[in-house]
Amino acid sequence: MEKKEIPDAELREFLKTLAPDGLFPFILNQARYRGVFLSGAALVNQMRANHGLGPLETLALGQACLAAGLLSSLLKEAGKYSLTVECGGPIQGYTAEADNQGHIRGRLFANPIPLTGAGALEGLGLNGLFGPGFLSLRRFNWAAGEDGRPAEPWTGRIMLEQGSLAKDLALYFYRSEQTPTAVILDLCFDREGRARGAGGLLLQPLPGGGENGALEDRLRELPPLGEAVSRRVWGTGGLDFLAAPFKDFGLVPLPPRPAEFFCDCSRPRFLAFLRALAAEKDPSLKEGPFPLKITCQNCGTDYFFEKADLPD
């Protein structure tokens, strides 16, 4: 993967002042609840630069990547989580995935998002742009089972109902796993459309935790997460802004994990794919034009190949 330079020099300098991105898990109420906070300003801006996104597209895919990162915190072993939205509205859908190493990537099905005939947007939001569709989650476990083979991916699916990824994820956990779950996905934009902050939060009861009305009220009182991230300067702790809101709930931080926009694509991998096509006598590989350009859909990296790279 090639990390493309963020084109806005002012934004690049601003991001250098922020505390590093990361996943910051924690427990509350003597381990009756588990949560994770994802700080992702650099992650979202790298995603935007690599895919060449506008503000609306950044909001849509940014929320998806934040959600995938939060889901990855639920992995107990080596593996990854992926989420996919397929819908009939202008967004059309997207997919995002994250592994247990904090590597997060994703792509939009439509870039730019076509808004012709969709009506004017009131502010920067996504409600009404999804239409009918489905949210699918897949969990991959890399650990081998008793037979020595990796476990089959686990898949869950629900219909979109809320017009909001965060609310539909919460609905998914409630219906599919009977687990009341709070999910917050938030990006903070300035007047020039720069994403100056991005944050996500997931909170669930552990067995025996049950529902807690006071905790639910406190969640509603949290400041916008994107704005909170935009104010997290170097030297501040990962859960510093949650300490005060959750002071009555015994917040205990757990070891943090990295989070970054990262794809494991590579030139050798695409070259092996092209050589396999060449072995099948694909005529396009003889006629060109050269250099051939292949773009990784998941991260936007461009790879170029000359005719000499391919077998005769």
What pLDDT shows up at residue 70? Answer: 98
Rounded Cα gap, residues 228 and 211, in angstroms: 26
Question: Cα-flanking dihedrals φ and ψ of residue 208, to 5°?
Answer: 90, -5
Strands 260-261 and 93-99 come out as: unpaired
Q: What is the pLDDT along the chain (312 residues), one digit of tens a residue?
A: 999 999 999 999 999 999 999 999 999 988 899 999 999 999 999 999 999 999 999 999 999 999 999 999 999 888 999 999 999 999 999 999 999 999 999 999 999 999 864 444 445 568 778 999 999 999 998 765 555 566 678 899 999 999 899 999 999 999 998 999 999 999 999 999 999 999 999 999 998 777 777 888 888 889 899 999 999 887 777 788 888 888 889 999 999 999 999 999 999 999 988 888 776 666 667 777 888 899 999 999 999 998 888 876
Domain boundaries, the chain: 9-261, 267-309
What pLDDT shows up at residue 102? Answer: 95
The CATH H-level (homologous superfamily) assignment of domain 9-261 is Hsp33 domain (3.55.30.10)
What pLDDT shows up at residue 284? Answer: 66
What pLDDT shows up at residue 121? Answer: 46
Q: Which residues of 56-80 are buried (b: 16+ CB within 10 A; e: fewer)?
A: bbbbbbbbbbbbbbbbbbebeeebb
- pLDDT tens profile 86-112: 999 999 999 999 999 999 999 999 999
Contacts 24+ apart (CB under 8 A), 251-255: 251/26, 251/27, 251/28, 252/26, 252/27, 252/28, 252/31, 253/24, 253/25, 253/26, 254/25, 254/26, 254/27, 255/25
Torsion sign over Cα 14, 15, 16, 21: positive
Beta-carbon contacts of residue 303 (< 8 Å; ≥ 6 apart): 267, 270, 293, 294, 295, 296
DSSP 8-state code for residue 129: S
Tokens read off for 253: 């931080």
What pLDDT shows up at residue 190? Answer: 95
**Burial of 33 by CB count in 10 Å (0-12 exposed, 13-18 middle, 19+ buried)?**
buried
Rounded Cα gap, residues 46 and 53, in angstroms: 10
Angstrom distances, CA of residue 178 to CA of 135, 162, 171, 192: 17, 18, 9, 42
CB 131 within 8 A of CB 89: yes
